Amino acid sequence: MIPKENSANTPLLRRYKTHRTGDAAPIGHHSPKLKIIVMGGLEEVGRNMTLLECDNEIIVIDMGLQFPEENMPGIDYIINDISYLKDKIDWVKGVIITHGHYDHIGGIPHLMPLLRNPPMFTGELSAGIIQKRYAEFKGLPKLKITMINDDSVIRLGKNFIIEFVRLNHSIPDTFGIVVKTPLGTIFHTGDYKFDYTPVDGKPADLNRLALIGHRGVLALLGDSTSAESSGHQVSEKIVGEELRKVFEQAPGRIIIGTFASQITRVQQLIQLAQDYDRKIVLEGSSMKTNVEISHQLGYIKMKPKTLIENDEAANYPDNKLVFIGTGAQGEKNAFLMKMASEEHKVLSFKQGDTVIFSSSVIPGNERTIQSLKDLITRKGARIIHYQLMDIHAGGHAKKEDIKLMLRLIKPQYYIPIEANHFLLQANAEIAADLGLPRSNIFVADNGQVMEFSRLGNTQKVIGKLTSAYVPAEYVMVDGLGVGDVSEVVLRDRQMMSEDGMFVVIATIKHSSNAVIGNPDIISRGFIYMKESKELLNEARKKVKKIVESQATPTDINIIKQQIRDELGLFLYKKTKRRPMVLPVIIEV
């Protein structure tokens, strides 16, 4: 269990309740500039991280990862480039985490040690998930985590006073971050929606939001992930009511695919299983870990013996079993796909199963999910998904939710965050439709500096989206390597995945450059060698000609480069494909 407070490690921390009227007291007699720099999350979904910088002090909001795109073969995930902070580590006064999803916390094990482990502040559930992930990385310094709630107020350095306001999302302990600075108040929403009937009974604090807006907000950084979707986000309670209908009617096993991070959804499924006297089998390490942490901290409640192990399921009839795991996006190694392809050690689909896809389709996964559904239905199972029933509620604000947030906060400036550029623009349009001047809406790129300063000697603060950028490139994590996979390596991987490789092994005499015997050729993903004998013979002759054209002994690297260039051109002319040519020269 993480201690509630670690004041010995965070001497700048003060936790106290305070009146919520008035703005931050002026700090010092001069008026420094305030910079807002979003390092990740403005050109993609993921890698969320924001810097607030004022008078040689910085706070960091979120430190997430991004899952790889299709053109990134072999990459595990992507984190942020923090080279901008390399010579400013002493400026970093603290890290604030809005909630416990990996796109907001996944970079912590990699980046916190580089920042010399500044104090971190987050909710209890988020702290538990962070500590669990952090423990998977051996030899790291202990995190200095202080848990907060919606009454917490902390001062970091001379320039930042931070408060927290409860918001709704698909995971408990989600907070908006209110940062008082000498220039004005900045409000960072993190991921949010408005759920008036949440499963955990803790709706967003609308009165508090209105009060924050009444005090005055210089800039609002707002979630854009669902900015193109009309209406309000569906309440999690509605999802529970729809799922209950499925539990009432399902004749056999109920098999559910959802995100492991959907803690509130899992709680509803556990409650329904108990109501209908069914046992639950959890599938997938991430699902088991999140449920274990949430149960230990009291965010998931269940009766003893509700959960059983997979090998115990055979002791119960099908109509007394529920399986919950990941895989609703068609992930290759998730349990739904393993069941459908009969690669699971124990389970496979059968007649009478009811399969619930309790998540929306992430763009790009449509074909994979359709293939998974085809496999499942061929086994005789019945599929229910969000387009048939309201069995999924997103965690992000739709258009009407965004309008409500803007009306409550009434910011002077609006900065859409957390989505691809076209969604940032959609979010910006909502603000413009409500009357916010377009000059006060900043649709930025990753690393672009937004700057706020006082106008002359007046108290008026003006902001601008500058043309200055700080480094915000992808840092790719591949196995144990962090940042050692460059664009060149990715391009090589893409080439091999698209056109294959062509390996040439030639043995030559050092004294004369004469080729001994015929070069050996190995091809993978390029041609079927048994049916391409003529091409292979021509390639061998080409290699011999290249090598023996050297009049005197030549540097091996020069010969390899000539083979790569000339043989590559030859293969392209013959096949219109560009395999990776890998020459291997053995001198004797």
Tokens of 430: 């909502």
For 285-350, give the DSSP string: HHHHHHHHHHHHTTSS---TT-B--GGGGGGS-GGGEEEEES-TT--TTSHHHHHHTT-SSS----
Look at strands 92-96 and 57-61 and give their pairing: parallel
* Residue tagged 């910085």 (tokens): 58
DSSP assignment of 411-422 equals: -SEEEEESS-HH
Taking Cα atoms as reference points, which of 310, 295, 332 lies closest to residue 253? 310
* 3-state secondary structure at position 269: helix
What is the rounded distance in angstroms from the CA atom of residue 579 to the CA atom of residue 576? 10
Query: Taking Cα atoms as reference points, which of 246, 161, 237 lies closest to residue 198?
Result: 237
* Alpha-carbon 543 to chain mean position: 47
What is the enclosing helix (H) or strand (E) of 540?
helix 533-548
Q: How far is CA 240 from the centre of its chain?
A: 26
Options 396, 401, 478, 499, the catalytic residue: 396
Nearest to 575 by CA among 535, 540, 519: 535
The answer to whether 64 touches 95, Cβ cutoff 8 Å, is: no
**The residue to which tokens 């490789």 are assigned:** 501
Note if 104 is an active site residue: no
Stated length of the chain: 588
d(CA 211, CA 7): 30
Q: Please, where are the H alpha helices in 88-154?
A: 102-105, 108-111, 124-135
The phi and psi torsions of 489 (rounded to 5 degrees) equal: -65, -45
Which of 103, 173, 223, 499 is labelled catalytic?
223
Backbone angles phi, psi at 496, to 5 degrees: -65, -35
Can you name the residues that pair with 382 across neighbouring β-strands? 354
Residue with tokens 């790569």: 564
The CB-based long-range contact list for 476-482 (8 Å cut-off, 24+ gap) reads 476/68, 476/72, 476/75, 476/77, 476/78, 477/65, 477/75, 477/76, 477/77, 477/78, 477/79, 477/110, 478/74, 478/75, 478/76, 479/76, 482/79, 482/110
Residue 447: C-alpha distances to residues 89, 450, 472 (Å): 17, 9, 5
> Is 30 tagged catalytic?
no
Question: Listing from the earlier edge strand, what are the strands of the sheet with 354-357?
Answer: 279-283, 321-325, 254-257, 354-357, 382-385
Our CA dihedral for 433, 437, 439, 442, rounded to 10 degrees, sits at -50
Please give the span between the terminal C-alpha atoms of the chain, in angstroms, as a whole number. 64
The CA distance from 218 to 186, in Å, is 6
> How far, in Å, CA of 231 to CA of 397, rounded?
9
25 exposed, middle or buried (CB, 10 Å; 0-12, 13-18, 19+)? exposed
Q: Which residues are catalytic?
A: 223, 396
